[in-house]
Amino acid sequence: MDNDTNLWLIGGKGTVGAVLLLKWDWGATNNVSRGVCGAAEMYTLGDDGMLVLRQQEIVFPVPVQERAAPEFHQPRSVVLGEDCENPEGTLPLGINDLSDVARRSMASMGLDEA
């Protein structure tokens, strides 16, 4: 998957501004199912043209909320292109929203979160 991130950002020659990489893991420890674990990572290109991990958040197991639920905030121009409406604004993606979508998909496959 990391190679795909390189392909999209570096191979995209500027047409792709950010990649959200979802990493999932499932398995059992000592024959006890531990369910699905996952993280979301946001990558962009640095000024030197190399990949930069801008943000990483845990999706499952859902962290104990000691603060507001995390969100990815990317400039609208990075996600939608320079000609978008309000290019200086941000486009938030809530981890709770991502968890909800993943939870529904996992349930249809008979999987549980960790």
C-alpha separations of 114 from 9, 65, 92 in Å: 31, 16, 25
In angstroms, the CA 78 to CA 94 distance is 17
- pTM, to two decimals: 0.75
Residue 19: which of 71, 70, 69, 79 has the closest Cα? Answer: 79
- Count of all residues that appear for the chain in the document: 114
For residues 56-82, average pLDDT: 77
Query: For position 53, what pLDDT does the model report?
Result: 92
Q: Which amino acid is at 54?
A: R
- How do residues 70-109 score in pLDDT, each as one tens digit? 888 888 887 777 777 888 888 888 888 888 888 888 888 8
